[in-house]
Amino acid sequence: MKRAKILCPLLGLMLAFGTAEGQVGEVRKDARANKESTKSNNNGDRHSGESSAFMGRLFIDAFRISFRGIGLAHHKMLDRRFDQPWIVSLDASMPIGYHFPHHTKFIAPEITGKWGLFATNARINRIWDRTGNFQTVDWQILQVNFATSAHFSLRAGVGISVDTEFNQAYPEFTINSGIHFQERSLNTLLEYRVSHDPENGATPRREFSIKQEKLLATTGPFNFGGFGGFTFQRWFSNTNFYFIQAGMSIHLR
């Protein structure tokens, strides 16, 4: 639905530009008539200018309010980082998975940086079996941390997924959520990813994963953990994989 809301106005603009190409002469004629009209009506010109200036100020003020609101939310979140150190952190994990029906292996090392309201995530997603291998490099360029409490977390983001075999890049969207226990030493983590090819409407990958993580040791600012879980991947709406996964994680806070 959101994608449709974005595409419809863009389509409307494209159609408007397409129609205007054959009517430039009419536009020029209207512009000339408008100029002649404004010469004989200074008041109209002044009122029009005042109206344009008002709309310009309204737009600038709306932008400033939005920008300040985001900045305020970001700084308020950063103020909690001493009590909640995960608000500013660097997290890395190394999941390894196995799809038993076809003996397919899966590995997806990733790193996530969090800074207040914002986060970014990068990973390499590789699968292989006797028929060959396939790999993508996924970068969630910008993620927003909507919730970062001691018991619940939620963030969503947008980025790109690059197919390194055929040099194709697709927009990718993610949602990450966590339910946390024992001061975040025990965590249930969920993630949903989907990439989209805007050229033909294909879905290169749809992915869902759930894992249970347990922190095992702490050394200075580093927390070390282990996890196990399940990852489902559906490639090009045609091939499904069900990976049982396990791995290690490191958190710098």
Residue 10's pLDDT band (cuts 50, 70, 90)? very low
Same domain, 60 and 175: no
What are the structure tokens assigned to 222, written together? 């580093």
Residue 189 shares a structural domain with residue 237: yes
Cβ neighbour number for residue 251 with a 10 Å cutoff: 21
Report the CATH number that the domain containing residue 226 is assigned in CATH: 2.40.160.20
Residue 173 lies in a domain: yes
Give the burial class of 229: count Cβ atoms within 10 A of its Cβ; 0-12 exposed, 13-18 middle, 19 or more buried: buried
Residues 123 and 208 both lie in one domain: yes
Q: Is the same domain home to 94 and 9?
A: no
pLDDT for the residue numbered 65: 56
Same domain, 70 and 139: no
Residues 70 and 141 in one domain: no
Mean pLDDT within 207-221? 96
What's the pLDDT tens digit per position in 131-170? 999 999 999 999 999 999 999 999 999 999 999 988 899 9
Position with higher pLDDT, 7 vs 234: 234
Asked whether residue 94 is domain-assigned, the answer is yes
Side-chain half-sphere CA neighbours of 55 within 13 A:
5
Q: How far apart are CA 141 and CA 119, in angstroms?
A: 8
Structure confidence at residue 71 (pLDDT): 79
Mean per-residue pLDDT over the chain, rounded: 82
In a shared domain, residues 104 and 213: yes
pLDDT surpasses 80 at 217: yes
* pLDDT at residue number 235: 95
In a domain, 181, yes or no: yes
At 67 the pLDDT is 60
Long-range contacts of 169-178 (CB under 8 A, 24+ apart): 170/195, 170/196, 170/197, 170/204, 171/195, 171/196, 171/198, 172/138, 172/140, 172/196, 174/121, 174/140, 174/143, 176/143, 177/152, 177/153, 178/152, 178/153, 178/154
Residues 128 and 236 occupy one common structural domain:
yes
Provide the CB-side half-sphere exposure for 124 (13 A, CA). Answer: 10
**pLDDT at position 63, please?**
52
103 and 15 belong to one structural domain:
no
Which residue among 50, 79, 108 closes a domain? 79
* Structure-block tokens of residue 211: 């894992």
Question: What is the pLDDT confidence band of residue 49, given thresholds at 50, 70 and 90?
Answer: low
Domain extent at residue 1:
1-30
Rounded-to-integer distance, Cα 225 and Cα 96, Å: 15
Does residue 35 fall inside a structural domain?
no
State the sign of the Cα–Cα–Cα–Cα dihedral 168, 103, 229, 227. negative
Is there a single domain that holds both residue 139 and residue 232? yes
Does the pTM surpass 0.85? The reply is no
Q: Domain tally for the chain?
A: 3
> What backbone torsions phi and psi does residue 132 show, to the nearest 5 degrees?
140, -170
Confidence of residue 36 (pLDDT cuts 50, 70, 90): low
In a shared domain, residues 59 and 156: no
Task: Please determine, for residue 251, whether its predicted confidence score (pLDDT) is greater than 80.
Answer: yes
Residue 19 located in a structural domain: yes
Question: Average pLDDT, stretch 9-34?
Answer: 40
217: Cβ–Cβ under 8 A, 6 or more apart, which residues? 223, 224
| 231-238 mean pLDDT | 94
Taking a C-beta distance cutoff of 8 angstroms, is the pair 227, 211 a contact?
Answer: yes
Average pLDDT over residues 37-42: 50
What pLDDT is recorded for position 64?
A: 57
99 within domain boundaries: yes
Q: Is residue 36 part of a domain?
A: no
Which region, left, alpha or beta, applies to residue 116 given φ > 0 means left and ψ of -120 to 50 means alpha?
A: left
> What residues contact 179, with CB distance under 8 A and at least 6 apart?
151, 152, 187, 188
Identify whether residues 116 and 142 lie together within a single domain: yes
Question: pLDDT tens across 52-111, in order?
Answer: 555 555 556 555 555 677 778 788 888 888 889 999 999 999 999 999 999 999 999 999
Cα angle for residues 109, 253, 156 (degrees, 5° grid): 55
